[in-house]
């Protein structure tokens, strides 16, 4: 299976997939050369996702996980239409979980600028419960802070506190962490919001949806085998290896580099 993200944030999703489906093989592609996706126009992110999807399909994966909220917002429908393999995104599981979790029907979202502008969360949540009040907040500073050498420094807490202020004022009882980077500093979010606010992140729900898709399409591997996993990046392999282990919570021995030209050629 192929899993991709703009950087290493999607490794939080891959971790759950590895735990849930230890018998499956995975290849993870981080598009570090074009990180971050969040400030980019949706059309540009959509093109990046289409290139990566085509590349992974050409390399024989049987299912693709768009483990990036921005890429899912920008291009999930197009990927599902264009590719022959199933494509699972991270947003729908989060929307379902948030609607099921909220008690006062006031839900907040913290995500990248592109994810907020795409409006996919709002549509999904209101399709599930038209009475929910939804409060999205773009958080452009968070991804660079979380990918820094010290994600738990004071600046990260101050940034989260600033972005959370309007959500606390709105009285939300549920907040979607709408970027795969955010769970790495989840304790900061929980400290800022307090125990009265529930945080929703999709890794477990996404892994469950992937497993169900494999079973439904009868394309699972035999559960008696041990699966493998490998890593690709369009950026610096050493930097990926160093930072990736922090997100994956497992050792990363080798990282292969893929050129942007190879991605573009796959989509041509």
The closest alpha carbon to 200, from 218, 182, 222, 216, belongs to 182
Marked catalytic residue, from 68, 79, 197, 263: 68
Return the structure tokens found at 29: 């592609």
User: Cα–chain-centroid distance for residue 102?
Assistant: 21
Residue matched to tokens 């999904």: 124
Marked catalytic residue, from 159, 179, 184, 207: 179
Return the structure tokens found at 221: 């591997």
**Inter-CA distances, 137 with 2, 48, 84, 99, 114, Å:** 30, 24, 35, 18, 11
Is residue 17 part of the annotated active site? The answer reads: no
Q: Which residues neighbour 260 within 8 Å (Cβ) at sequence distance 6 or greater?
A: 33, 34, 234
Neighbours of 201 (CB within 10 A): 24
Q: Which residues neighbour 92 within 8 Å (Cβ) at sequence distance 6 or greater?
A: 124, 209
Question: What is the DSSP secondary structure assignment for residue 220, as one 8-state letter?
Answer: P
What burial class does residue 41 get, using C-beta atoms within 10 Å of its C-beta: 0-12 exposed, 13-18 middle, 19+ buried? Answer: exposed
Is residue 139 part of the annotated active site? The answer reads: no
| C-alpha to C-alpha distance for 22 and 134, rounded to whole angstroms | 36
Q: Which residues are catalytic?
A: 68, 179
């Amino acid at each position: 299976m192929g899993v991709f993200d703009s950087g290493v944030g999607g490794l939080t999703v891959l971790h759950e997939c590895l735990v849930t489906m230890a018998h499956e093989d995975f290849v993870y592609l981080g598009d570090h050369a074009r990180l971050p996706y969040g400030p980019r126009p949706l059309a540009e992110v959509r093109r990046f996702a289409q290139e990566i999807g085509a590349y992974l399909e050409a390399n024989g994966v049987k299912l693709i996980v768009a483990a990036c909220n921005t890429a899912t917002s920008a291009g999930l429908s197009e990927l599902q239409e264009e590719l022959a393999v199933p494509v699972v995104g991270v947003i729908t599981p989060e929307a379902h979980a948030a609607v099921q979790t909220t008690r006062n029907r006031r839900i907040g979202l913290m995500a990248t600028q592109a994810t907020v502008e795409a409006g996919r969360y709002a549509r999904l949540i209101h399709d599930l419960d038209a009475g929910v009040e939804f409060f999205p907040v773009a958080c452009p500073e968070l991804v660079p802070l979380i990918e820094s050498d010290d994600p738990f420094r004071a600046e990260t807490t101050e940034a989260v506190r600033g972005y959370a202020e309007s959500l606390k004022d709105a009285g939300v009882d549920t907040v979607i962490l709408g970027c795969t980077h955010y769970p790495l500093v989840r304790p900061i979010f929980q400290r800022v919001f307090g125990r009265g606010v529930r945080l929703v992140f999709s890794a477990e729900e996404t892994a469950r949806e992937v497993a169900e898709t494999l079973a439904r399409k009868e394309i699972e591997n035999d559960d008696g085998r041990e699966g493998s996993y490998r890593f690709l990046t369009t950026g610096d392999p050493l930097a990926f290896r160093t930072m990736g282990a922090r997100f994956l919570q497992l050792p990363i021995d080798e990282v292969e580099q893929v050129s942007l030209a190879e991605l573009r050629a796959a989509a041509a």
